[in-house]
Amino acid sequence: MISAIYRWLDERLHLDDLIAPFRHKTVPVHRLTYWYFFGGITLFLFGVQVITGILLLLYYNAGANEAFESVQYIMTKVRYGWLIRSIHSWSANLMILTAFLHMFSVLFLKAYRKPREMTWISGMLLLFLVMGFGFSGYLLPWNTLAFFATKVGTAMVGQVPIVGQPMMVFLRGGPQVTGATLIRFFGFHVAVLPGLVGILIAVHLFMVQRLGMSVPPKIEAEWVENPSAKREMKFFPNFMLREMMAWYVAIGVLGALAAIFPWDLGVKADPFGSAPAGIKPEWYFLFMFQTLKLIPSKVWFVDGEVLGILGCGLAGLLWLLLPFFESEQPSRPKKWITGLGIFALMYVMGMSVYGFLAK
Amino acid sequence: MAFLRNNFRLLRAARTAGLAGCFVLGACLSYGQTTNSCLDCHSAMPDPLGVTQEKFSQDIHSQKGLTCTSCHGGDASSYDPTVSMGTKAGFKGKIDRKQVPQLCASCHSNPTYMKQYNPSLRTDQLDQYHTSMHGKRQAAGDTKAAVCVDCHSVHDIRPPSDPRSTVNPVNIATTCSRCHSDAAYMKPYGIPTDQFANYKTSVHYQAMMVRGDLSAPTCTTCHGNHGATPPGVDKVQNVCANCHVFQAQMYGKSSHFKAFQSLGLPGCVVCHSNHGIHQPSDAMLGTGPQGVCMRCHQPGDKCDLARVKIQSGLMKLDSSITNADQTLSVAEASGMDVSEARLAQTQARDELIKARVTIHTYQEALVDQDVQAGLKIAAKDEQAGKDAMVERNQRRIGLGICFLAIAIMLAGLWLFIRKIEH
């Protein structure tokens, strides 16, 4: 039956020509192959986000007076609403986690080297956009924590010299975080960011498809020495089936988190109330938040916060351009980049833990 | 000639401007440095004659432009004691305690004068003082009776809104206790001296000092300030009614009101005491040490039976609310959203508070109405918590089924991969 439908479609659309590259595509098999799965898992979780996000849109009302109540309605009255919202929230966090893991795995496996510089850049831009998804989506339930986190987050943007203030007003829809900010963030979250991410995912996947999977330099050298050790598997169906297994595991983890730890709604935001004591951002912004906290209020004659924000921005820009610092000789990769990667990983993890434990 | 005349005019104008400038400069330099010979000497003297510039500058009168001579007379511009403290300058010296109320009233009882400083300030303090126990004793020649400066201090009098003022709400009880807790000082009057100690154990003190509620009652709230006097046995409920309106209304229509009046008992105080009013509890309806009903009623009488029913009703509602809270907490800890039931719990609590207020009618049926309304809400909330727990269990069963399905899929995929790779 399925093959009959496929034949019918193939006669008209020549699907075989489209699928042919996938049939010929291979994935290198070595001791680090499992790191290749994280990109696919991130993509799968993005798919979960799109589906659950569309379902949430059926009941969500953007607006300072309705947002909280509509999410509360989803959590308590809508059939399986709690499951959809909890999966959406947990999946968002897992997606950011797997995106970070994917980024660091690409870094340590040296997969960003020529000719994959643009794949790295598109991936990094996707990581930034995914964090933007997290920041904009966090405000949508309009609860106290989200309100004040947005207030702090957008105020940090306002610290950027020259363009900071206009950017902050643009993000907030005015000088303060209000219902206008919520509507704006809703727009970013469901229209602007999905559009940009969709385009970038297409570009990223196209380049992955075009350039194939990178083999780490060490393993490549081993294979040059001993060509018989070189092994590959077909992308379709062998790698794809394994990827599907990872997706099933991801579904299991998401289901368990949603059922055992449904995502909390908190208390409705009160713009006239005071910020809760010890307020912190979501875990993926914690390392930046803690860094800013540790910088003195004045460094020489420069405002500490401005310095911290500019420093974070510069670090992000350099990270984006990292492939261009790498040697073009595959046999002589620059070791300091690996060292920097280890330092960055340790720094992000250490600062996140410190930020989590700090009062 | 015209040229000279014109230049001469210019020189004259320059000279006039120069003189005016010197005058303004001199005035500016001397501003704030007016002579006050009183402070110059008295700041170097030991107590009780010592008054420093620092101390007097804190005084509201000093801040409003009044000086030592406003009360004491004399001439502060002269350093010659015979002039500055001379009779010609109207020097009064130390004000006699008997004269203090009249002296203060010379301004404070003058509405026209006081209006320029604070239009909303009352000007009946002296009249009020004459009606007070302090005022009456002072008029009778008792020099120990409190006068203005005993409560408001002297030379550093701050407005009552200033937290450092001796008459700020948080300091009033301490100010009163300086005399009223001094057993030796109060001995001639034969009144208790444990008021402040009792007040410190009261719910009113807790509200004022622990919760920082400045509207909570302190001594002057019940006794009055300038007209301070005991409220009188038959007027106690009027004092309490200022805040506890519903309780007073209910009590006023109750059988206890008439009974207490005929027996000459002081209303609210009979059950709640006066200075040491503790947080009321349902135990007040019991027969234990906190119980108050059985001080007058006999075991087994009609009122005792009603008391038992009222107390058991209140305790039942209290425990129902606690049980519902616990069930909802367990559900919340499991991640279930029970915010609606939580909100309804506040209504159940309101009913409990209402029932506790209704006790002042001493009618079992009326209290029971409130209790039943609260019980109904608490039962519904507890059921909501139980339903949430049932749903939580269903979710976990569903998760188990999903895990099983995922495990089967994973096994199937793994077998399929092995098949195609071999």
Tell me, yes or no, if B406 comes closer than 8 A to chain A by beta carbon: yes
The minimum CA-CA distance between B421 and chain A, rounded to whole Å, is 8
Rounded-to-integer distance, Cα B355 and Cα B44, Å: 65
Residue B231 has pLDDT above 80, yes or no: no
DSSP string, B251-302: HHTSHHHHHHHHHT--TTHHHH-STT-PPP-GGGGSSSTT--GGGTSPTTSH
What pLDDT does residue A16 have? 87
Chain B residues in contact with A82 (beta carbon < 8 A): 337
Tell me, yes or no, if B335 comes closer than 8 A to chain A by beta carbon: yes
Residue A272 lies in a domain: no
Residue B300 has pLDDT above 60, yes or no: yes
- For B406, the closest chain A residue by CA position comes to A248
Beta strands in chain A (DSSP E): 26-29, 231-234, 298-299, 302-303
Selecting from A237, A241, A252 the residue whose C-beta is nearest the C-beta of B406 gives A252
Tell me, yes or no, if B413 comes closer than 8 A to chain A by beta carbon: yes
Give the number of domains in chain A.
Answer: 1
**Cα angle at B309 between B307 and B313, to 5 degrees?**
115
- Taking CA atoms, B159 is separated from B63, B125, B153, B164, B213, in Å, by 11, 15, 11, 9, 19
Chain A residues in contact with B402 (beta carbon < 8 A): 251-252, 255
What pLDDT does residue B22 have? 43
Tell me, yes or no, if A79 comes closer than 8 A to chain B by beta carbon: no
Selected residues 280-309 of chain A with any CB under 8 Å from a CB in chain B: none
Confidence of residue A28 (pLDDT cuts 50, 70, 90): very high
Residue A19 lies in a domain: no
Q: What is the CATH number of the domain that holds A262?
A: 1.20.810.10
CB contact under 8 A, A251 and B414: no
Q: What is the mean pLDDT of residues B293-300?
A: 91
What pLDDT does residue B28 have? 43
Selected residues 176-235 of chain A with any CB under 8 Å from a CB in chain B: 233
CB contact under 8 A, A238 and B395: no
pLDDT digits (tens, 9 = 90+) for A164-207: 999 999 999 999 999 999 999 999 999 999 999 999 999 999 99
Residue A93 lies in a domain: yes
Residue A20 lies in a domain: no
Rounded-to-integer distance, Cα A139 and Cα A117, Å: 34
pLDDT mean across residues, chain A:
93
CB contact under 8 A, B337 and A256: no
Selecting from B335, B406, B414 the residue whose C-beta is nearest the C-beta of A261 gives B335
- For B392, the closest chain A residue by CA position comes to A259
pLDDT digits (tens, 9 = 90+) for A333-343: 788 999 999 99
How large is the ipTM? 0.85
Q: What is the mean pLDDT of residues A136-158?
A: 95
Nearest to A96 by CA among A122, A134, A123, A124: A134
Where do the CATH 1.20.140 domains begin and end in chain B?
302-421
Which tokens hold the place of B282? 């349902």
Of the residues B332, B393, B394, B395, the best mutation for testing chain A's interface (the one with the most A CB atoms within 10 Å of its CB) is B395
What pLDDT does residue B13 have? 56
Q: Domain range spanning residue A261?
A: 26-266+283-357
Tell me, yes or no, if B411 comes closer than 8 A to chain A by beta carbon: no
Rounded-to-integer distance, Cα B282 and Cα B352, Å: 11
CB contact under 8 A, B340 and A76: yes
What pLDDT does residue A192 have? 97
CATH entry, B302-421, from 1.20.120, 3.30.70, 1.20.140, 2.40.160 = 1.20.140
In the 8-state DSSP scheme, what is residue B211?
A: S
Residue A125 lies in a domain: yes
What pLDDT does residue B4 have? 47
Length of chain A (residues)? 359
Residue A229 lies in a domain: yes
Chain B residues in contact with A238 (beta carbon < 8 A): 417, 420-421
Chain B residues in contact with A252 (beta carbon < 8 A): 402-403, 406
What pLDDT does residue B12 have? 62
Query: What is the residue whose two structure tokens read 């608490």?
Result: B378
The four Cα atoms A168, A169, A173, A175 give a dihedral, to 10 degrees, of: 110
Chain A residues in contact with B421 (beta carbon < 8 A): 233, 238
Q: Is B374 left (phi over 0), alpha (psi -120 to 50) or beta?
A: alpha
pLDDT digits (tens, 9 = 90+) for B5-26: 555 565 565 555 554 554 444 4
Residue A210 lies in a domain: yes
- Angle of helix A37-57 versus helix A193-211 axis, rounded to 10: 160
Lowest mean pLDDT among A58-62, A326-330, B293-297: A326-330
Residue B256 has pLDDT above 80, yes or no: yes
Residue A277 lies in a domain: no
DSSP string, A249-283: HHHHHHHHHHHHSPPP---B--TTSPPPTT----H
CB B93 within 8 A of CB B72: yes
**Cα angle at B225 between B221 and B231, to 5 degrees?**
60
Rounded-to-integer distance, Cα B360 and Cα B287, Å: 18
Per residue in A109-142, is it b (16+ CB within 10 Å) or e — as a string?
Answer: bbbbbeebbebbbbbbbbbebbbbbbbbbbbbbb
Query: Would you give the distance in Å from CA B19 to the centre of its chain?
Result: 58
Q: What is the mean pLDDT of residues A1-21?
A: 89
The minimum CA-CA distance between B340 and chain A, rounded to whole Å, is 9
What pLDDT does residue B14 have? 56
Which tokens hold the place of B98? 């008997």
